[in-house]
Amino acid sequence: MTLLIYPLAALAEIAGCFAFWAWLKLDRSPLWLAPGLVALALFAWLLTLVPSDAAGRAYAAYGGVYIAASLAWLWLIEGQRPDRFDLTGAAICLIGAAVILLPQRG
């Protein structure tokens, strides 16, 4: 379930933040804020569904997924292909997320 929740949360967070970016940086209408706020609320709700004994641990592991999803957004939505440094950094972060998320804690 976590492997589904994290990518959905990342998509919601990035979409919500991008709505604010579009309004402030790309001169879009303030109406962009309404779906942005809904997306950010969805993001927060989704993270509460992650089975974890501590919110901070769930958020820390999510960070690696967020970084990888942000680079996918960069490529698919913004049309800028990530370079080898972007991909290497994302791989390191995903490994770190796995180290946080996967151990069975007692």
- Cβ 22 vs Cβ 7: under 8 Å: no
pLDDT tens-digit readout, 32-61: 999 999 999 999 999 999 888 888 888 888
pLDDT tens-digit readout, 61-104: 889 999 999 999 999 999 999 999 999 999 999 999 999 888 87
Residue 55, pLDDT score:
85
- Report field, pTM of the whole predicted structure over 0.85: no
Residue type present at position 71: L
Largest CA distance in the chain: 51
User: Is residue 106 scored above 90 in pLDDT?
Assistant: no
pLDDT tens-digit readout, 17-37: 999 999 999 999 999 999 999
